[in-house]
Amino acid sequence: MVTPTTSVDDNTVGWRFDNTYSRLPDVLFAPAQPAAVPAPRVSILNHRLANELGLNLGVLSAEAAAALFAGQELPADAYPVAQAYAGHQFGGFAMLGDGRAILLGEHHTPSGKLVDIQFKGSGPTRFSRRGDGLAALGPMLREYIISEAMAALGIPTSRSLAVVTTGRQVLRTSPLRGAILTRVAASHIRVGTFEYAARRDEPALRALADYTIDRHYPELTTAPDKYLKFLRAVADRQAALVARWQLVGFIHGVMNTDNVAISGETIDYGPCAFMNAYDPETVFSSIDHAGRYAYGNQPNITQWNLARLAETLLTLLDANPEKSVAMAMEVLGEFPAQFEGYWLAGMRKKLGLQTAEPCDNELIQTLLDWMQKSRADFTNTFRDLSSESLTADHYQTPDFQVWYSRWQQRIGQEGRSNAETFALMRTVNPAVIPRNHRVEEALAAAEEHDDLSVMHRLLTVLASPYELRADGAPYQAPPPDGCNYQTFCGT
């Protein structure tokens, strides 16, 4: 059994740690230590991300890298803590906290950014609520794949730096291989962090708000009415983020308030997946029986989550309760138009339109209605539209042909050739996404046969999602008919 120590040579690897979050009021966190593990071993290291972070993982032996990312030898300046937060989970409130995650601190990147370095699955903390604090290999690799795919798509997201196995079994419905993910994020401050602080301590709430503004919205630090402007800025980032999810068919799956990052990044890849055939009611999560977090409901839920954030800020917005509520309601009332603006601008780009016309919304909706009726694949349809010819049978139907003629006329109004338009479309419509069945194929090979080659091939294709690579064709195909895919909260 390896006992955690703090002996990594920071100068060699390149760590530049700070511990700004742990200087907040201690009600917001609890000291924590990664659990000792018997036999850590590297599954995958993200050398590209490490280079972006200014880290040189190449100086580490396989054993040293495994010890580092299993939490057995920590960077010298790390100060590991578990963060406290609450959350509305499927609408019901609960006091939570990092039950199986440990924040090592914040790392200064060469570009001047401050990013969280967090272990996930590294053992119990004060907030584990009788859980074991552990994680299994499959879900950790799944988060690695999806988060890196999202980054390649240009969508704000947490990143995955490493996955290591621990040599310990994790008992769920059956014994599974234990693993730890190292996650990198702008921060792990959530709507739920504000919910926790608002229920525990007003000075802590103000300190948290000031810290979050300084870290993520520094332009507001000295602004008049900075807390109101902060709420509006968070709402704007969430509108932009969820619009980008919608534009690539991404379904987060568990948009609880503890999974909404104040920074505007996608975080916590649990029962997420990408939609195949277009249907706004698409749900993959095995526990979302009512469709609360269905694809088409994500904008509404985002507004609901922002309302929960607004409630925590009322005492900071104004001393007069009626005035503070009115201010918050004004921001929340702006959200539908904010989201619609981002979504419509993105949809115009997907259709090769560079100007705005009043008829565009109806043109887009008509296409989506046809896609739903014909069970057309969301990703492939938009990519196919950027080709010179559409030969598939479902593109020969009268309804589609009428729409296609209208779209061609709309493009013609902008005075560009089809070739120019199609080239622009291919820069925003991915050729490949992490198809659910391909992800499962990679995970099965890793879990059952200790074979990471399938995952590496998938990651190579997903790293250039807008390119149609010679080896990418198998990754474009949707799953076979009748594939009833479900995801689970394994992360």
**Range 319-347 burial, b when 16+ CB lie within 10 A, else e:** eeeeebeebbeebbeebeebbeebbeebb
**Contact between 191 and 301 (Cβ < 8 Å):** no
Other Cβ atoms within 10 Å of 480 Cβ, number: 7
Active site residue 393: no
Nearest by Cα to 432 from 459, 404, 456: 459
Q: How far apart are alpha carbons 10 and 18 in whole angstroms?
A: 12
Q: How far apart are alpha carbons 125 and 133 in whole angstroms?
A: 7
Q: How far apart are alpha carbons 397 and 393 in whole angstroms?
A: 7
Amino acid sitting at position 417: S
**Contact between 62 and 85 (Cβ < 8 Å):** no
Q: How far apart are alpha carbons 366 and 374 in whole angstroms?
A: 12
Other Cβ atoms within 10 Å of 297 Cβ, number: 19
* Burial of residue 17, with CB atoms counted within 10 A of its CB: 0-12 exposed, 13-18 middle, 19 or more buried: middle
The dihedral sign for the CA sequence 118, 121, 123, 124: positive
The two structure tokens encoding residue 180: 């730890």
Q: Per the residue annotation, which of 258, 268, 288, 377 is the catalytic one? A: 258
| Residue that is written with structure tokens 């309804």 in the block | 399
Nearest by Cα to 41 from 180, 141, 136, 145: 180
> What radius of gyration do the chain's Cα atoms show?
23
Ranges assigned E (strand) in 50-185: 73-75, 81-83, 86-89, 92-95, 101-108, 114-120, 135-136, 159-171, 175-185
Q: Which residues are catalytic?
A: 258
